[in-house]
Each structure stands twice: as C-alpha cells, then as structure tokens.
C-alpha cells in the first residue's frame, strides 16, 4: 500500500514538473525571450551586454510601428541576430538625403538617432520602396551601425523578426521598460 502511494506521489510530482517545463517552453517560444545586446549600434538607448526581454506577440500579429526596436535574424545566417529601430514600414518609400530621413517624401522627426546627420545613406541614397512584408531599420548610433542601408543587412523581412524589445533586465541601474525609448 505504501509503495502505491509513493508511486502516485512520484507521478504527481513528475506531472507538475512536466507542466511547468512545457509552460516555460511555450512562453519562450511564443510570448517572450531574453536577449543580450552585442555591440554599440543602438547607443545611447542600449549598451553592449544589456540584457533585454523581447515580446513576440506584436511581431507575430504584424503590429509593428515606426520607431519600435526589434530583434531579427541575419538573412544569411539565422544564428546571427541584430537589434535595430524600425524606420520604414511595409509599402513605404524611404530615402536619406543630406543626412535626413524621409518616409514617403516627408522628413521624419528622428528623436532616437544619436548623431544629427547620417553621413552614409548607403542604398537609401535613392528611394527604397518596401515590399508588403519588409521593414527598413537603423541603429540609434546611426553613423556606427550596420543596418538596412547596407547589403549585409538590407531590408528586413517579417519572417526574420524574432520580437519587439519591451524591457531591460540588466544592468540593474537601467532596469525597466523600454516602451518610450
């Protein structure tokens, strides 16, 4: 009788652990995930080695907005990830002239760029029209960032996007929401 009780307790504990692990895996896969920043292309908003959380629901529902910060995979190597800011949305036309950013021929007020003028417009010297699932992204440290202006990054397809940044976990002095940054 005692052995049956032990087996039932073990089975119950095993089931509880399995449910917890399944829940964690589901959350990580479909809801949120921690990511470590590598490099200074998002300075001053983010710094090298910052630990951030990304949420995946917004990106899976294609509800990104201009100036959202995203994490996405390199188009040629899914093991390499980038953190950048969305500037151009699907269907829009982006161009960089005289260091200023224009979307659909309207200059955008860029509160996030670290430097006032973009020195190298790259492929955005000429107007770039985005496809139905494409985004144009820039690093906040504009003149020291590999981003949509250059072929190694290029336009970011919806399928490359892992999530939208929403919270900084570390360093603890900067702990908090990234919603308005």
pLDDT digits (tens, 9 = 90+) for 143-176: 999 999 999 999 999 999 999 998 898 898 888 7
Q: Respond yes or no: is residue 148 known to be catalytic.
A: no
Active-site residue among 3, 13, 38, 41?
Answer: 41
Residues 23-48: what's their mean pLDDT? 81
Residue of 56, 84, 145, 148 marked catalytic = 84
Predicted confidence (pLDDT) per residue in 40-97, tens digit: 999 999 999 999 989 888 766 678 999 999 999 988 887 889 999 999 999 999 999 9
In this prediction, residues 9-20 reach a mean pLDDT of 73
Which pLDDT score, from 0 to 100, does residue 87 have? Answer: 96
Contact 56, 32 (CB under 8 A): yes
Work out the average pLDDT over 93-104: 95
Confidence of residue 7 (pLDDT cuts 50, 70, 90): confident
Residue indicated by tokens 């955008």:
108
CB 148 within 8 Å of CB 161: no
CATH number of the 33-177 domain: 2.10.109.10
Residue 109 is predicted with a pLDDT of: 85
Residue-range domain boundaries for the chain: 1-30, 33-177
- Gap between the Cα atoms of 158 and 136, Å rounded: 11
41 is catalytic: yes
Q: Give the mean model confidence (pLDDT) for residues 27-32.
A: 66
> Whole-model pTM?
0.84
């Amino acid at each position: 009788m005692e052995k049956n009780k032990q087996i039932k307790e073990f089975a119950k504990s095993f089931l509880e652990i399995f449910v917890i692990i399944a829940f964690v895996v589901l959350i990580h896969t479909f809801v949120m995930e921690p990511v470590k920043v590598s490099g200074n292309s998002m300075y001053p908003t983010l710094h090298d080695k910052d630990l951030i959380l990304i949420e995946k629901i917004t990106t899976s529902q294609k509800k990104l907005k201009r100036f959202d910060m995203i994490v996405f995979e390199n188009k040629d190597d899914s093991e390499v990830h980038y953190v950048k800011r969305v500037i151009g949305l699907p269907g829009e036309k982006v161009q960089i002239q005289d260091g200023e950013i224009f979307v659909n021929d309207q200059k955008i007020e860029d509160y996030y760029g670290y430097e006032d003028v973009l020195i190298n417009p790259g492929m955005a010297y000429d107007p770039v029209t985005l496809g139905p699932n494409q985004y144009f992204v820039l690093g906040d440290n504009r003149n020291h960032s590999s981003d949509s202006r250059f072929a190694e990054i290029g336009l970011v397809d919806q399928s490359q996007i892992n999530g939208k940044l929403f919270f900084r976990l570390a360093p603890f002095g900067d702990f908090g929401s990234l919603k308005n940054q």
